[in-house]
Amino acid sequence: MSERAVPQSFIASILPFMVMCVGMFIALLDIQIVASSLQDIGGGLSAAQDQIGWVQTSYLVAEIIVIPLSGWLTRVFSTRWLFTISAAGFTL
């Protein structure tokens, strides 16, 4: 005999999606904060305009390195644990 799948409630099915969307928004917001505050970062470091461009470049290179690494970490840990640890690390 086959068992029927118990339908999930609307909140139980949409809540993980909403949490994921908030996490993606925070990541995009972080990139925009770095991009929009380059002048202030340059002033704080007494760097010229051509030198301060490396701040954004190094930030994006680090992000590009982490993207494939996150696929491997998702297999080692679960997606839920990796997202929770990443969000906690970002908050700290």
Residue 4 lies in a domain: no
Q: How many structural domains comprise the chain?
A: 1
pLDDT, one tens digit per residue, over 36-61 is: 888 898 889 888 888 888 888 888 89
Percentage with pLDDT > 70 across the chain: 92
Q: What is the pLDDT of residue 76?
A: 92
Residue 67 lies in a domain: yes
Tokens of 43: 């002033």
Interval 57-69 mean pLDDT: 87
Instruction: Say if CB 48 and CB 42 are below 8 A apart.
Output: yes
Q: What is the pLDDT of residue 5?
A: 65
Residue 17 lies in a domain: yes
Q: What is the pLDDT of residue 84?
A: 87
Instruction: Say if CB 75 and CB 69 are below 8 A apart.
Output: no
Residue 5 lies in a domain: no
The residue range of the domain holding 54 is 10-91
